[in-house]
Structure 1
Amino acid sequence: MGAGGPASELIMFIVAVLVAGSVAGGLAYVTNDIAGGITDRGAMLADSLRTDFAIINDPQNIPVSGTGPYTYTFYIKNIGKMKIPFTSDAVQVFIDGTLIPPANLTFTDVDGNPITSLNPYEVGQIQVTLGTALSAETHRIVVVLENGKKRSLIFEI
């Protein structure tokens, strides 16, 4: 009868150590997962802060060519620190809230040569081709990059 007390206490101690080890392991896993998520989110935020652009057109004088279809030219300047993709797959354009189909967009440098990206401080052109002319009033263009960064310009025709 004397050996039963210490044996049960030893078993209870071993069980307590196992439970404490399991809890500590679970907390370590959760803490590591949270730290990884914070690292990933920080990297995405840093990329977002280094990516920036501006629509640099004169809002009173938007270049237009053609008599149907009509091609409107908008100038985009990369004012960030990172190269930005400059293709119809990576950039969406809205005029007055309507998404312009990728087939109606042409991405070029200022000399008219096709390009796929804009380096920092470089200027590119987005040529928007529409079947009908925009009415002689105020319009709004919104340009959205693949990372969600967007800029808008209110312009007149």
Structure 2
Amino acid sequence: MLRRMIVSLRYTLRRHAPSAPQRQVGAIPYAVVDGQVAVLLVTSRRTGRWIFPKGGLMTGLTPAEAAAREAFEEAGVEGEVAPLPLGAYGSFKRRGLRPLPIEVELYPLRVTQQHEDWPEKRQRRRHWASLNEARKLLSEPRLAELALMLRGQP
């Protein structure tokens, strides 16, 4: 009896053990206005929190290119994406009732074009914010830390 309970408990623990984080990429769309950096935030679809555009890696695209594609799909912007990420942050993505860990690398994207129509326009809002305002609006402190690294961008 005790042996059966132990086997059952091991099975349950293995089944619910945290998996390795899924890798995602995102962009920090930015522009320099009168010498000050402004960043473009979007709302998440599920909760409406302010975030940066992000998503999974895409076959045939480098991580930086995939981040740029997410910025177009979620925020309607295009521009020059840096080949290296500013950094990364960890979070969770909901799959049904179960939270899955994700690790998101964020690439700076200097915006050169903003479209009035884009694929997820009806699902999200976008908002240009100063770095100080972004720090207050962003739902995750690590996102604000990464955005602040854009200070001094040309």
Q: TM-score range by the shorter chain?
A: under 0.3
Higher strand share: 2
Higher relative contact order (CA 8 A, sep 6+): 2
More helix by share: 1
User: How high is the TM-score relative to the length of structure 2?
Assistant: 0.28
Larger radius of gyration: 1
